[in-house]
Structure 1
Amino acid sequence: MTAKEAVPVRDNGPAEDDFSIIEPAGFIPVQVESGGKRLLLSPRALTIAGSLLLGMLALVYLLVARSLIFETQPADADVSVSGLALPLGDGHLVLPGHYSYTISASGYLPKSGEVDVSSDGHSRHVVALEKKPGHLQVVSDPPVALRILVNGSDVPSENGLAKNIPAGTKRITVVTDRYLPYTREVEIEGLDNTQRLQAKLRPAWANVRISSNPPGATVSVGGEVLGTTPLNAELIQGDRQVSLSLPEYKTVEIPVAVTAGVDQTLAPVDLSAADGLLRVVSKPEGAGVTVDGEFRGHTPLELELSSGGQHQLRFFKDGYASVERTIDVDAGVERDLNITLDAVYGRVRISSSPADAQVFIDGRLAGVTGETFNLPARSHSILVRKSGYVDYETSVVPSSKLEQTIRAVLLTADEARWSRIPTEISHPAGGVMKLMRPNAHFTMGSSRREQGRRANEVLRQVALDRPFYLGTTEVTNREFRRFRRMHSSSHVNGVSLDNDNLPVVNVSWSDAAMFCNWLSERDGLSPVYLTERGSIVGFDAGANGYRLPTEAEWAWAARYEQGAMRKFPWGDELPVRSNSGNYADNNAAQLVPAVLRTYSDRYAATAPVATYSPNSLGLHDLGGNVSEWIHDLYTIGTGLSMRREENPVGPQNGDYHVIRGSSWRHAGLTELRLSYRDYGAEPRNDVGFRIARWVN
């Protein structure tokens, strides 16, 4: 019992004497030696705790880590992965994250890269290493200096060793002087290994026996001297040019086809005596030279002439008398020859209109027109010049036997410009057009006092100076059918209007305008008539294409003559003159109500174009045959204004177009007059057209 333990007391009564007093006992703590420490855990406990902690960490790593596997080529390559990567079987165990790797193997180029490993699964990568290049040692038989080609390309080599050839199948070619190329397919292993190729070389030459008469000639090929004849030469295969030379003999070139390994003997070469050399100069220089009729050049000149015979030399130059010489030269001898040519002159007289113009000969002022010039008998350029006129240029070769004359007609700038413009052209359909150059002021229409006048022939003052081309005849059926192949001009009571040379009829004004546009397109010109959806909607007065003549142009071409306006196509008086046109005569009695009883034109209806005499401008049928569609829209003036109209083309808008000229149906005074005007839009069997075009 310790000091703190108490002895139980049984209660037997109140007597004090029976109670024991409990005394406290003193506490004495355990004494520890001074300077010592108390150990809480033993070393064994710490070891166990550490092992448990490491085990738990390893378990966590195994639960979190993912495998990183590299499938390599070659399979035994070394794989190095950065960071905490535990090798495990064929791969590494790593925590999710970013890693760098390097893969290497003997004989291969190392390869590095980076990968990301996620927590979702394992990571597998395929990596193929590239083989290191290989080396090839070529040993030739016989041993000679050589070049190595890999797949056709030269590669550096030293003593037959070509280094760093990429692995794979390669075409190896061994090239060397005087031997045929040696080619083999070689599988280059690579892996930094050196392979050996034995090349058995075959000669690329053949023995060629060369001889000459006389012997002792020097033999050379490609500038390399091989020896003197007779000679056995080793020539490389191919087409060779063998040269044989011997003093005082001509050098001979012989083509020889050489095949490797095939020896040959050439036929003896006969050497002929060498040419002599003749150096020729002339006064003046530049004389032409012929030798035995063959042109050889101009002086000064060196001529090689064959020896042992004579040669005929001729020297000539414009303006000089020719000289002939007979020459012979010895083999290998050089000679000089000096020739003097005597000038030959001819007389040329130059005149001009107008007179007193300057004359330039060969670019130099020589005098004035009206003079005669004494010129060397060679070609000279002649220029005649006078202020206000275009220069006149020509050339002349004077003759010593006769005097020549040049007459220069000088033109003003305007005359020269018009001289370059053709006076006659043909349009794409085949018709002929003449150049018209009006410069006239005239009155169009007719006086109210004129017998037969109609109210629409109002007098108009017109100025016409714009040049134009105008058809010499009306457009024929043949020409129109080139535009519209199926067109028919039909007939009148059995009388045909459809023959090829008859004027086309039964065409509307729009048909005629479309034909003009078609001609413009064929010639690459701007069309005059504007179209929308196949209909004419206006015209462009500035276009350069084909068109119908304006009313002013037609009236001028038909009526204007020497400042006056003629009344009828044949003149100013009736009756109708013979052969003046196609009108309603007795031949048309069955077709029309009124005819000219005293006139015959030989045709019942239309006549072939150009059947009758043209007017003074060379134009046919402006009166008779068929009436003609005109470019202008139809209007009637008031007659109150006498304002002069400049090159009028008519309004842009209207319902009808003007028709001018009489036709085969007309016999009355009103219609036969050239001032007669009609109008319409629809086809008629007595209305055709002719074409015009402005000159720009």
Structure 2
Amino acid sequence: MTAKEAVPVRENEPANDDASVIQPIGFTPAQVSSGGNKLLLSPKAIAVVASLCFGALMLVYLLVARSLIFETQPADADVSVSGFALRLGDGHLVLPGSYRYTVSATGYLPQSGEVEISSDSNSRHAVKLERLPGHLQVITEPAVPVRILVNGAEVDSSEGLAQSIPAGRKRITVLTERYLPFSKEVEIEGLDNTQTLTASLRPAWANVHITSNPAGATVSVEGKILGTTPLTAELVQGDRVVDISLPDHKTVQIPVPVTAGVDQTLQTVDLAAADGTLRVVSNPPGASITVNGEYRGQAPMDVALASNRRHQLRFFLDGYRSVEHTVDVRAGDLRDLNVDLTAVFGDVTITSSPPEAQVFIDGRLAGIAGETFTLPTRSHTITVRKAGYEDYQTTIVPSSKLKQSVRAILLTGEQARWSNVPAEITHGAGGKMLLMRPSSEFTMGSSRREQGRQANEVLRKISLTRPFYIGTTEVTNREYRRYQRMHSSSHTNGVSLDNDSLPVVNISWNDAALFCNWLSARDGLKEVYRTERGRVVGFDGSANGYRMPTEAEWAWAARYERGAMRKFPWGNALPVGKNSGNYADSSAGQIVPAVLRTYNDNYAATAPVGSFGPNHLGLFDMGGNVSEWIHDLYTIGTGLSTRAEENPVGPQEGDYHVVRGSSWRHAGLTELRLSYRDYGAEARDDVGFRVARWVN
């Protein structure tokens, strides 16, 4: 009872003085722990506030978060996402940012990755899991060890179980000895499951019956002994070689094509007696051996001989007398035969020019030229050597019945080099060319006092030393048309200039130069003339290809003879010699205004090249027939110099080129002279050309 409580008074109860007085009692306030705070909100209020805050946060999360959905194969794959990701239906609700994920399913390889979630849109990803490899258990009927191939490649297997085969459709091949291959398409389901494949195997062999005479021979195939004859053997299909052997008899090999399931009986094999062996040694070694006329080899060697018959053996070696032996052997015998050969000699006399050269025989110094040497009658290499000269070398086989001789003509280095250069060649268009090796100084042109001389025939001192080839004839229509198939030399006053054997005409100097370049390329030589857009703009004086003769070369080839210069093609005086060449004769009277009335060459215009005799060097038509384009550009000299021009080739630039030699149109004294010079650039019906080339 507290101080504020009163004691109830019952009715009709006598008053009590003590009871009517309210007496205070002692009061002790409740104790509160020091430092404590009094709660402002009740627990219920706090719970409400927390719920509101959580709801607000969830609202913000729902407004900001984006959905992340994975479309997986298989569809029931488990998806885990790193960080705070709220699973929502088939996907997750996540805040923008980077997340790692892992997709896994039973029987599949897990797949992990990383996705970036933006604040702009939701994210959807497709993930296809790869099935785990499967396993294949092969069961064969009958049960035999097997090898297993998957898509043609052998895989590891144990007792018919091939593990870890990638899922998918596979060609399974089962191989085993003595059975045909078994092959089948199988869908490997993977998922770490094991499938079963039953393979019914068919035999791959056939029965082959083998007999021999005599019987009891050993039969083997590929080194494996199968038994003795008569024998029925199981041979695996394919091309087999059956060996049948018997002591003291020759082993017989029989090719047997075997087809599975097709039995066969071979024809009885007759076994011949074995060969005997003759071990042959010759002195000296290396003797050739023939047996009954058949070459067998060189001693020392083992010679197999058919047993129980006689054989004729012959031994021969260069420089030795042949030896013959008659031999017979028994089956399986091994005998030795030693053969001594007797040397045979012959005499060889060796001389040289110049004399007293050293003589080497088979690489060894044997003596001095002029001696007679006694040599074995076999092939010997003879070398004759003298200082300042190239070696002379030949081979000889001396004879015991005939004395032989060798005369060595020794050449200097220069002579030896030129001996390997052909004196005549044929170029790719078919024309012949002769080698010229001038070493001359001469005067080109003519004296002012010479009758018929022109002002452009200025005297020039020339030194010509560079070797060259020059065409024996002028280039023909046939040869030129190998370069320009449609070219026509046309005609003059109805007389044809276009026959194959006639010299080509109606071509410019540029046309002739381009023909030379074409011929050089055809024959694999360096082109002489430099061109731009089909026009010649210069030349290469070091090139070895075809060109036209230089003026100095032409003048030397036409005029120079024994230190003097010819005046006319036929000599040094008029009249024109008979059959000297093709000039403007009486037969050309209807074509040209001036002719040689007392001369007739029977050709009104051009003549076939080579119709008249060659000059002293073997060159045709150096005068007459057609005039010729020359390599050099046209210039007129200033007079005779005290110093000779060495191998001149003319300038690199100019408008016109030199023309040399008379033609079928010429009958005048001026043109018939070999010193006559003309010039031009354009085509004419009486100008052709011949080819030349330097020899480097």
When normalised by structure 1's length, the TM-score is: 0.89
Tell me what 2:328 maps to: 328
Give the counterpart letter for 2:181 in structure 1.
P
When normalised by structure 2's length, the TM-score is: 0.89
Query: CA 1:227 to 1:417, structure 2 compared with 1: closer, same or farther past 3 Å?
Result: same
Deviations for 1:155-178, whole angstroms, at most 9, x for unmatched residues? 222233222222223333332223
Tell me what 1:155 maps to: 155
Per-residue deviation, 1:32: 5.8
Alignment of 1:69-468 (within 5 A): 69-468=69-468
In the alignment, is residue 35 of structure 1 matched against residue 26 of structure 2? no
Query: CA 1:477 to 1:175, structure 2 compared with 1: closer, same or farther past 3 Å?
Result: closer
Q: Secondary structure at the residue paired with 1:280?
A: strand
Query: CA 1:51 to 1:239, structure 2 compared with 1: closer, same or farther past 3 Å?
Result: same
- CA distance, structure 1, for counterparts of residue 93 and residue 693 of structure 2: 98
Per-residue deviation, 1:118: 3.3
Conservation of the 8 A alpha-carbon contact between 2:149 and 2:173: yes
Query: CA 1:391 to 1:116, structure 2 compared with 1: closer, same or farther past 3 Å?
Result: same
Q: Secondary structure at the residue paired with 1:448?
A: coil
Deviations for 1:69-94, whole angstroms, at most 9, x for unmatched residues? 33333333333333333333333333
Per-residue deviation, 1:415: 0.9
Conservation of the 8 A alpha-carbon contact between 1:460 and 1:642: no
Query: CA 1:91 to 1:429, structure 2 compared with 1: closer, same or farther past 3 Å?
Result: closer
In the alignment, is residue 550 of structure 1 matched against residue 547 of structure 2? no
Query: CA 1:201 to 1:597, structure 2 compared with 1: closer, same or farther past 3 Å?
Result: closer
Conservation of the 8 A alpha-carbon contact between 1:208 and 1:234: yes
Tell me what 1:11 maps to: none
Query: CA 1:443 to 1:227, structure 2 compared with 1: closer, same or farther past 3 Å?
Result: same
Deviations for 1:216-262, whole angstroms, at most 9, x for unmatched residues? 21121111122222223222222222212111111121222223333
Tell me what 1:575 maps to: 575
For structure 1, which segment, 333-342 or 105-114, has the greater mean C-alpha deviation from structure 2 after superposition? 105-114
Deviations for 1:51-84, whole angstroms, at most 9, x for unmatched residues? 3333333333334333333333333333333333
Tell me what 1:541 maps to: 541
Tell me what 1:524 maps to: 524
Give the counterpart letter for 2:146 in structure 1.
L
Per-residue deviation, 1:640: 5.8
In the alignment, is residue 509 of structure 1 matched against residue 509 of structure 2? yes
Tell me what 2:6 maps to: none
Tell me what 1:26 maps to: none
Deviations for 1:290-340, whole angstroms, at most 9, x for unmatched residues? 112221111111122111211121111111111122211111122111111
Tell me what 1:660 maps to: 660
Query: CA 1:82 to 1:660, structure 2 compared with 1: closer, same or farther past 3 Å?
Result: closer
Q: Secondary structure at the residue paired with 1:320?
A: coil
Query: CA 1:594 to 1:53, structure 2 compared with 1: closer, same or farther past 3 Å?
Result: closer
Q: Percent identity?
A: 73
Tell me what 2:638 maps to: 638
- CA distance, structure 2, for counterparts of residue 375 and residue 597 of structure 1: 74
For structure 1, which segment, 401-410 or 122-131, has the greater mean C-alpha deviation from structure 2 after superposition? 122-131
Give the counterpart letter for 2:274 in structure 1.
A
Deviations for 1:604-654, whole angstroms, at most 9, x for unmatched residues? 443332222222111222223333333333333333643321122233344
Query: CA 1:119 to 1:348, structure 2 compared with 1: closer, same or farther past 3 Å?
Result: same
Tell me what 2:13 maps to: none
- CA distance, structure 2, for counterparts of residue 590 and residue 72 of structure 1: 107
Deviations for 1:119-163, whole angstroms, at most 9, x for unmatched residues? 334333332332222222233333333222222222222233222
Per-residue deviation, 1:491: 4.3
- CA distance, structure 2, for counterparts of residue 291 and residue 684 of structure 1: 78
Query: CA 1:324 to 1:494, structure 2 compared with 1: closer, same or farther past 3 Å?
Result: same
Query: CA 1:346 to 1:110, structure 2 compared with 1: closer, same or farther past 3 Å?
Result: same
Give the counterpart letter for 2:461 in structure 1.
Q
- CA distance, structure 2, for counterparts of residue 518 and residue 425 of structure 1: 18
Q: Secondary structure at the residue paired with 2:163?
A: strand
Conservation of the 8 A alpha-carbon contact between 2:461 and 2:640: no
- CA distance, structure 1, for counterparts of residue 513 and residue 644 of structure 2: 28
Per-residue deviation, 1:270: 1.9
Give the counterpart letter for 2:107 in structure 1.
G
Give the counterpart letter for 2:41 in structure 1.
L
Q: Secondary structure at the residue paired with 1:556?
A: helix
Tell me what 1:614 maps to: 614
**Aligned pairs, how many?**
667
- CA distance, structure 1, for counterparts of residue 115 and residue 276 of structure 2: 90
Give the counterpart letter for 2:56 in structure 1.
M
Tell me what 2:18 maps to: none
Give the counterpart letter for 2:168 in structure 1.
G
- CA distance, structure 2, for counterparts of residue 571 and residue 578 of structure 1: 12
Gaps of 5+ in 2: 1-26
Give the counterpart letter for 1:621 in structure 2.
D
For structure 1, which segment, 99-108 or 560-569, has the greater mean C-alpha deviation from structure 2 after superposition? 99-108
Q: Secondary structure at the residue paired with 1:546?
A: coil
Give the counterpart letter for 2:638 in structure 1.
T
Query: CA 1:219 to 1:484, structure 2 compared with 1: closer, same or farther past 3 Å?
Result: closer
Give the counterpart letter for 1:663 in structure 2.
S
Query: CA 1:144 to 1:653, structure 2 compared with 1: closer, same or farther past 3 Å?
Result: closer
Query: CA 1:422 to 1:75, structure 2 compared with 1: closer, same or farther past 3 Å?
Result: same
Q: Secondary structure at the residue paired with 1:480?
A: helix
Per-residue deviation, 1:591: 4.2
- CA distance, structure 2, for counterparts of residue 538 and residue 569 of structure 1: 32
- CA distance, structure 2, for counterparts of residue 198 and residue 490 of structure 1: 91
Gaps of 5+ in 1: 1-29
Per-residue deviation, 1:485: 4.1
Give the counterpart letter for 2:175 in structure 1.
V
In the alignment, is residue 565 of structure 1 matched against residue 562 of structure 2? no
Q: Secondary structure at the residue paired with 2:321?
A: strand
Deviations for 1:17-49, whole angstroms, at most 9, x for unmatched residues? xxxxxxxxxxxxx99645377553333333333
Deviations for 1:633-687, whole angstroms, at most 9, x for unmatched residues? 3333333643321122233344433333333343443333322333344444443
Q: Secondary structure at the residue paired with 1:571?
A: coil
Per-residue deviation, 1:497: 3.8
Deviations for 1:157-202, whole angstroms, at most 9, x for unmatched residues? 2233222222223333332223333333333332222233333333
- CA distance, structure 1, for counterparts of residue 191 and residue 445 of structure 2: 110
Query: CA 1:183 to 1:610, structure 2 compared with 1: closer, same or farther past 3 Å?
Result: closer
Per-residue deviation, 1:490: 4.3
Q: Secondary structure at the residue paired with 2:207?
A: strand
- CA distance, structure 2, for counterparts of residue 77 and residue 168 of structure 1: 20
Q: Secondary structure at the residue paired with 1:395?
A: strand
- CA distance, structure 2, for counterparts of residue 107 and residue 59 of structure 1: 40
Give the counterpart letter for 2:163 in structure 1.
K
Query: CA 1:48 to 1:32, structure 2 compared with 1: closer, same or farther past 3 Å?
Result: farther
Give the counterpart letter for 1:157 in structure 2.
S
Give the counterpart letter for 1:580 in structure 2.
S
Alignment of 1:479-518 (within 5 A): 479-518=479-518
Conservation of the 8 A alpha-carbon contact between 1:289 and 1:298: yes
- CA distance, structure 1, for counterparts of residue 498 and residue 159 of structure 2: 98
Deviations for 1:480-502, whole angstroms, at most 9, x for unmatched residues? 34444444444444444443333
- CA distance, structure 2, for counterparts of residue 138 and residue 347 of structure 1: 87
Conservation of the 8 A alpha-carbon contact between 2:347 and 2:372: yes
- CA distance, structure 2, for counterparts of residue 84 and residue 581 of structure 1: 116
Query: CA 1:238 to 1:40, structure 2 compared with 1: closer, same or farther past 3 Å?
Result: same
For structure 1, which segment, 562-571 or 103-112, has the greater mean C-alpha deviation from structure 2 after superposition? 103-112
Conservation of the 8 A alpha-carbon contact between 2:460 and 2:640: no
- CA distance, structure 2, for counterparts of residue 349 and residue 368 of structure 1: 11
- CA distance, structure 2, for counterparts of residue 53 and residue 630 of structure 1: 115
For structure 1, which segment, 419-428 or 196-205, has the greater mean C-alpha deviation from structure 2 after superposition? 196-205
